């Protein structure tokens, strides 16, 4: 090309392109999602910039994304994705498309090189491949772009970035066609021989619906052609309905369907080609719809594309409300499938709350303390009706609306979790049980934190916590209380941080209570003991550490004091038997005593308090051999 500058890709980019091209064939559908997502970002950027610099809006009327496939005379097939967004200067073309500017992409790369191919496929969902995914379907890609007009750049020039899939270089040159775009970016992909399916409008519509219907609030239009029988009018014959495809006219993305006007008495018909821009994402956004009309799959896909999570959410709540200060809003709250590794490493975690005002995205940065720490993992989209559109973040953080919104979100989250727990407890739906089980696996410790730190809500959070016992894999506090023995006046627990429930269950203290049929909470997790100590009582029953004094039993007169007396009586009664035993077992055992630890077995051989345990002895013997 004239005036073209040849550049060699930064080595990271070359590596990434290689992975993309070689190992992601079966995931190549994602290219469209990535390009639409970039187009959305570019228009979003334009819109935000225009709030302070209206000049950037010149060049094109509308904010939209268009898709169009066509065959060239030379036989190649092209797919064009175009947006009326912020555009790029030639320097930006080089920097943004020729280097790995985005940390997400670098992370993808780092992980991809350690994973096998199938793993890499999953990574796409997590990180996104961005622009480079276009090479999954194209031999050659041209990116024509014109930067938005600003006082610093009042006469932007349209440039092209061009690169082939099998080349380690790219070129940037002034677009020989001149400024055809008006504003924005146009990505032209010369499709590979085996990627011609992407010219099929049915296929493209399907893809957009599946992966991108939630990716943008701006309209996506798809160019379609179909043939139709239309009547021939006597005065105005055939040529009228045919709309020529016109590169220059593409700014007005919606071309009226020309078949609207039907003559009253048609005498003859003829076949014409009807060209039409079809609006693909014409449904209102999911949070604006009646929850009854939204399917589970739609909620899941919306979550996955909004929060860039490859996994499905574990649960959600779709609700509308009023902040109390008069601001009405609609919201969807999601429970993700995992807790970020960083959750336990920091004091505060910024919550993922996407705030919109009247369908327009405002910010997802509501500050570090947007939600209490324990709940900061929840993912939320909120659309408010009447906040000023250009409200700054600092201002926003201090509005009453936001404070109220936070407490509503926490309340809803607790409500959602409680419902899930209740549904699981009915034990009549395996999916409900599995969903709650997974929530509990992931968030149990976070919920303990909530019960400890969120004074206002601890009574509602505590019932969601699950703890292992000597009788069951786990229980809620309410279940424990229901399950208590007649007359039981305390909630028994044994706490020893770091020990597994299995080990704790073998403790002498637990064994004794177990024998009497009492359930004992086995607390081995870091927050467990703080959790019960902070609550102090539950349903009027105080928590009691079974390794400490103060145990009370409700059944009969089994007070530790009474027990001592009883023990002495027994010792006297059975002294002759004990003496006989001691004589017979001399040398083999250290002592013979009357035990209160046993219930069903007549006798047991146990380790001396100061001696080796049976296990230790076995190990030592093995070593000495």
Q: Which stretch binds ligand ADP (CB under 6 A): 79-87, 231-239, 411-419, 601-609?
A: 79-87
For 247, 303, 611, 622, the CA distances from 625, given in Å and listed in that order, are 90, 62, 21, 6
Q: Indicate whether 96 belongs to the interface with ligand ADP (CB under 6 A).
A: yes
Q: Indicate whether 125 belongs to the interface with ligand ADP (CB under 6 A).
A: no
Among 97, 355, 446, 523, interactor with ligand ADP by CB under 6 A: 97
- Chain position whose Cβ is nearest to Mg ion: 130
Nearest approach, Cβ of 35 to Mg ion (angstroms)?
8
Q: Indicate whether 42 belongs to the interface with ligand ADP (CB under 6 A).
A: yes
Give the integer Cα–Cα distance in Å for 375 and 464: 13
Give the integer Cα–Cα distance in Å for 597 and 112: 58
Three-state DSSP at 299 gives helix
Three-state DSSP at 404 gives helix
Nearest approach, Cβ of 101 to ligand ADP (angstroms)?
6
104 binds, among ligand ADP, Mg ion, none (CB under 5 to 8 A by kind): ligand ADP
Q: Give me the 73-112 binding string for Mg ion, x by CB under 5 A, dash otherwise.
A: ----------------------------------------
Nearest approach, Cβ of 252 to ligand ADP (angstroms)?
20
Of 130 and 463, CB closest to ligand ADP: 130
CB 251 within 8 A of CB 233: no
Contacts of 497 (CB under 8 A, 6+ apart): 523, 524, 525, 526, 528, 529
- Please, which of residues 108-137 interact with Mg ion by CB under 5 A? 130
| Residue 151 token pair | 């006082």
How many residues in the chain?
Answer: 625
185 is in an annotated binding site: yes
Q: Which stretch binds ligand ADP (CB under 6 A): 96-104, 151-159, 196-204, 409-417?
A: 96-104
Among 85, 336, 463, 501, interactor with ligand ADP by CB under 6 A: 85
Q: Which stretch binds Mg ion (CB under 5 A): 7-15, 36-44, 274-282, 301-309?
A: 36-44
CB 490 within 8 A of CB 532: no
Tell which residue, 308, 300, 289, 292, has the closest CA to residue 354.
Answer: 308
Task: Count the residues of the shown chain that bind Mg ion, applying the rule CB under 5 A.
Answer: 2
CB 390 within 8 A of CB 51: yes
Q: Indicate whether 104 belongs to the interface with ligand ADP (CB under 6 A).
A: yes
First-last CA distance in the chain: 84
Q: Indicate whether 185 belongs to the interface with ligand ADP (CB under 6 A).
A: yes
Give the integer Cα–Cα distance in Å for 538 and 477: 7
- Please, which of residues 503-522 interact with Mg ion by CB under 5 A? none
Q: Indicate whether 39 belongs to the interface with ligand ADP (CB under 6 A).
A: yes
Q: Indicate whether 83 belongs to the interface with ligand ADP (CB under 6 A).
A: yes
Backbone conformation region of residue 553, classed left if phi is above 0, alpha if psi is from -120 to 50, else beta: beta
Half-sphere exposure of 99 (CA within 13 A, CB side): 8
Among 15, 102, 192, 460, interactor with ligand ADP by CB under 6 A: 102
Among 38, 84, 158, 327, interactor with Mg ion by CB under 5 A: 38
CB 93 within 8 A of CB 131: no
- Please, which of residues 522-561 interact with ligand ADP by CB under 6 A? none
Give the integer Cα–Cα distance in Å for 446 and 328: 30
Backbone conformation region of residue 499, classed left if phi is above 0, alpha if psi is from -120 to 50, else beta: beta
Q: Indicate whether 130 belongs to the interface with ligand ADP (CB under 6 A).
A: yes
Of 34 and 352, CB closest to ligand ADP: 34
102 is in an annotated binding site: yes
Give the integer Cα–Cα distance in Å for 380 and 340: 16
Of 102 and 460, CB closest to ligand ADP: 102
96 is in an annotated binding site: yes
39-74 CB burial, b ≥16 within 10 A, e <16: bbebbbebbbbbeeeeebbebbeebbbbbbbeeeee
Q: Which stretch binds ligand ADP (CB under 6 A): 97-105, 344-352, 422-430, 576-584?
A: 97-105
470 binds, among ligand ADP, Mg ion, none (CB under 5 to 8 A by kind): none
β-bridge mates for residue 332, sequence order: 318, 381
Nearest approach, Cβ of 144 to ligand ADP (angstroms)?
10
103 is in an annotated binding site: yes
Among 16, 86, 333, 356, interactor with ligand ADP by CB under 6 A: 86
Of 128 and 450, CB closest to ligand ADP: 128
393 is in an annotated binding site: yes
Of 184 and 241, CB closest to ligand ADP: 184
398-427 CB burial, b ≥16 within 10 A, e <16: ebebbebbbebbbebbbebbeebbebbeee
CB 130 within 8 A of CB 106: no
Q: Indicate whether 463 belongs to the interface with ligand ADP (CB under 6 A).
A: no
Nearest approach, Cβ of 305 to ligand ADP (angstroms)?
14
Nearest approach, Cβ of 420 to Mg ion (angstroms)?
34
DSSP 8-state secondary structure symbol assigned to residue 216: -
* SS3 per-residue string spanning 383-428: EECCCCCCCCHHHHHCCHHHHHHHHHHHHHHHHHHHHHHHHHHCCC
* Interface with ligand ADP (CB under 6 A): 34, 38-39, 41-42, 83, 85-86, 88, 96-97, 102, 104-105, 128, 130-131, 185
Name the binding residues for ATP: 34, 38, 83, 88, 96, 102-104, 185, 393
* Interface with Mg ion (CB under 5 A): 38, 130
Name the binding residues: 34, 38, 83, 88, 96, 102-104, 185, 393
């Amino acid at each position: 090309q004239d005036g073209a500058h040849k550049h060699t890709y930064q080595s990271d980019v070359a590596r990434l392109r290689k992975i993309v091209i070689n190992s992601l064939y079966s995931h190549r559908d994602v290219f469209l999602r990535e390009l639409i997502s970039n187009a959305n970002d570019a228009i979003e950027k334009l819109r935000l910039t225009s709030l302070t610099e209206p000049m950037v809006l010149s060049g094109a009327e509308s904010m939209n994304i268009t898709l169009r496939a066509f065959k060239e005379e030379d036989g190649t097939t092209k797919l064009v994705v175009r947006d009326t967004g912020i555009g790029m200067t030639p320097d930006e073309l080089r920097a943004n498309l020729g280097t790995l500017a985005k940390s997400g992409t670098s992370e993808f790369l780092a992980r991809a090189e350690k994973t096998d191919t199938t793993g890499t496929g999953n990574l796409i969902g997590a990180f996104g491949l961005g622009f480079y995914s276009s090479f999954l379907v194209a031999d050659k890609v041209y990116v024509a772009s014109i930067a938005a007009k600003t006082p610093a750049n009042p006469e932007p020039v349209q440039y092209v970035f061009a690169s082939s899939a099998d080349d380690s270089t790219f070129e940037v040159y002034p677009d020989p066609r001149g400024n055809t775009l008006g504003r924005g970016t146009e990505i032209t992909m010369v499709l590979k021989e085996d990627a011609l399916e992407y010219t099929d409008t049915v296929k493209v519509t399907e893809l957009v619906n599946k992966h991108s219907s939630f990716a943008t609030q701006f309209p996506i239009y798809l160019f379609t052609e179909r043939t139709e029988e239309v009547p021939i009018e006597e005065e105005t014959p055939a040529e009228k309905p045919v709309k020529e495809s016109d590169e220059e006219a593409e700014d007005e993305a919606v071309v009226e369907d020309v078949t609207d006007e039907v003559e009253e008495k048609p005498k003859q018909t003829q076949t014409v080609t009807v060209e039409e821009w079809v609006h693909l994402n014409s449904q209102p956004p999911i949070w604006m719809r009646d929850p009854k009309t939204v399917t589970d799959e739609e909620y899941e896909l919306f979550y996955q594309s909004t929060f860039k999570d490859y996994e499905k959410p574990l649960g959600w709540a779709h609700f509308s409300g009023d902040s109390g200060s008069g601001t009405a809003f609609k919201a969807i709250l999601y429970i993700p499938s995992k807790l970020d590794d960083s959750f336990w490493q920091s004091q505060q975690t910024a919550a993922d709350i996407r705030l919109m005002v009247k369908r327009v995205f405002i910010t997802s940065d509501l500050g570090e303390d947007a939600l209490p720490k324990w709940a900061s993992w929840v993912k939320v989209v909120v659309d408010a009706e009447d906040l000023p559109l250009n409200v700054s973040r600092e201002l926003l953080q201090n509005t009453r609306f936001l404070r109220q919104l936070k407490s509503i979100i926490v309340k809803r989250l607790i409500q959602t979790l409680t419902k899930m727990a209740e549904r699981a407890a009915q034990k009549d739906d395996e999916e409900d049980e599995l969903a709650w089980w997974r929530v509990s696996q992931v968030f149990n410790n976070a919920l303990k934190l909530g019960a400890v730190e969120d004074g206002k809500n601890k009574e509602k959070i505590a019932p969601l916590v699950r703890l292992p016992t000597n009788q069951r894999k786990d229980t809620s506090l309410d279940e424990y209380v229901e399950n208590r023995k007649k007359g039981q006046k305390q909630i028994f627990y044994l706490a020893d941080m770091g020990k597994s429930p299995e080990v704790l269950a073998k403790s002498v203290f637990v064994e004794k209570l177990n024998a009497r049929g009492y359930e004992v909470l086995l607390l081995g997790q870091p927050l467990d003991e703080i959790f019960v100590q902070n609550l102090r009582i539950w349903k009027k029953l105080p928590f009691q550490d079974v390794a400490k004094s103060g145990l009370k039993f409700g059944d009969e007169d089994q007070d530790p004091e009474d027990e001592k007396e009883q023990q002495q009586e027994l010792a006297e009664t059975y002294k002759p038997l004990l003496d006989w035993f001691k004589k017979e077992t001399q040398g083999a055992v250290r002592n013979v005593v009357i035990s209160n630890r046993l219930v069903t077995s007549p006798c047991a051989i146990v380790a001396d308090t100061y001696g080796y345990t049976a296990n230790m002895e076995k190990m030592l013997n093995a070593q000495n051999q």
